[in-house]
Every structure is written in C-alpha cells, then in structure tokens.
Amino acid sequence: MIDLIDVSKSYGPGLPAVNHANLHVDKGEFVFIVGNSGSGKSTLIKLLLKELDSTSGKIIVSGEKLEGMKHRRVAKYRRKLGVVFQDFRLLKDRDVYENVAFAQRVVNRPTRVIRKRVPEVLQEVGLAGKYKAYPDELSGGEQQRVALARAIVNRPDILLADEPTGNLDPKTSEEIMKLLEEINERGTTVLVVTHNKEIVNSMKKRVLTMHNGVIISDEKEGEYYEA
C-alpha cells in the first residue's frame, strides 16, 4: 500500500529532514510513527500527502508513483487519502453536517449520495445527534470526531493522522484512538504520527521510530522508545 525506497528530503543545506528512509506498509495495517519534534515525522506525512516533493528516492502509494506526478493528478491522488490534524481544521462557519458533506462536494458526489452517506459516517464516529452543531459548540474530542468523519467519508484507502490527540485530554485521546482502530478494522490502512507514549504502548501496534530524519526502529507490536 505504501512504499518508500531510499527517500530523502532536505529543506536546504544541513541535515535532511528525512534521511534515506525505507518503509513498506501493507494494506490494512495500523502504524504509529513516533519521535521527538524535528525527527522528520511531519515531513514524512507531507511527503505522503504530496504537499512536499522528495529530494531523492521513490515513493509509491496505492499503486501511484509520487515522483514526477503531474500537478493535475495530485487532486485525484489525494482522494485516496483521508487526513486529520492536531488542530482539527474544521470550517467554523458551517455545521457538522456541512463540514462532512463538504468533503463529498469537493469530489463531486451527487446530493442524493451525500444525504445518505453523511449521516452514516456521523453515526460511525458517534456524532449522529450533533449534526446541526457548529464546531465552536463542540468539545475538542467531538471536533476531532468530525474531522475523522470528514476524512473517511469518501472511503479512502489510507488514513493519515498527524498528532490527532495532541490537543486532547487522555480519556478523549483514548476514545479517538479507539475510533482509529475501528476504522482500521474496516479495512483502511492507518498511519498515526504521535507523541502519546501511553497510547502507543497500550495499543500494541507496529511502531516506527524516527530520529533526526532516520527511521531508527520498526517493530511489530512495538513500544515508544525515547531516542
């Protein structure tokens, strides 16, 4: 599903943000990417999102080679990905329903499909009763659920989560992680960048540790090691 072959990314002179990274992720896997600030985790996510281009190496995601991908193709490629961020990035002037429906409008889904699919996915993230609420009326955990609903509403192959629990208390973080696990169990490949040691250690998933741009460990049922 995801292949990185000797991938490097530098922003300028000095140490590259990602340094000769090699990685293979199978369809349906759940992978944590951990490491200190500046270890290259976010750069890695940005490379996968095709927000950045690698300096060298090869990235293949869901059968698509990212190097040399035409600008026009990028939008279509991103439809295979769902993405959530630490700061939720919801549209504050629209209610929950519209925030999720927005993702479907963007990819040209007909209204009748949107009307059916949005309540369905809100049900999945446990927000069925709050579809009329605005982001500011929701707790952090609820906002992240909306963001998750938006990320999966188009049934992406891969879900990328960049510090999804960074702004949440431990209990809410656990709930969000549980939700990510459920999404993963329904067949979506999930990559989670996180600092949350307790959660990583309790979930017993594959853990990739990065340090100074290098993937220093890759373990099945791994733990969060301080580098």
Residue numbers of the site for other proteins (CB under 8 A)?
49, 51, 71-72, 75-79, 81, 83, 89, 91, 102-103, 105-108, 110-111, 150, 154
Residue showing tokens 């060298």: 56
Q: Determine the Cα–Cα distance for residues 192 and 194; give it in Å rounded to an integer.
A: 6
For the bound state, the minimum distance from the C-beta of residue 16 to other proteins, rounded and expressed in Å, comes to 23
Cβ at position 97, least distance to other proteins in Å: 15
Pairwise CA distance, residues 164 & 40, whole Å: 17
Nearer to other proteins, 66 or 207 (CB): 66
Round to whole Å and give the CA distance between 54 and 57: 7
* Residue closer to other proteins (CB basis): 45 or 200: 45
How far is C-alpha 13 from the chain's CA centre? 29
Rounded Cα distance, 8 and 27, in Å: 23
Taking the complex as a whole, the smallest distance from the CB of residue 79 to other proteins amounts, in Å, to 4
- In the complex, what is the shortest distance from the CB of residue 108 to other proteins, in angstroms, rounded to a whole number? 6
Find the shortest distance in angstroms from Cβ 51 to other proteins: 7
Least Cα distance to 107 among 83, 84, 79, 82 occurs for: 79
CB nearer to other proteins: pick between 134 and 225: 134
Tokens of 121: 């996915």
- Write down the least CB distance from residue 157 to other proteins, Å: 12
Residue 15: other Cβ atoms inside 10 A: 12
Q: Specify the residue, 159 or 200, whose C-beta has the smaller distance to other proteins.
A: 159
Instruction: Tell the smallest beta-carbon distance from residue 218 to other proteins (Å).
Output: 26
* Cβ distance to other proteins smaller for residue 162 or 174: 162
- At 198, is the secondary structure helix, strand, or coil? helix
Check the CA dihedral 104-106-109-111 and report its sign.
Answer: positive
- Tokens representing 20 are 């000769």
Q: Residue 150 or 205: which CB sits closer to other proteins? A: 150
CB burial string 150-169: b at 16+ within 10 A, e below: bbbbbebbbbbbbbbbbbbe
CB closer to other proteins, 19 vs 143? 143
Q: Which tokens belong to 41?
A: 């985790």
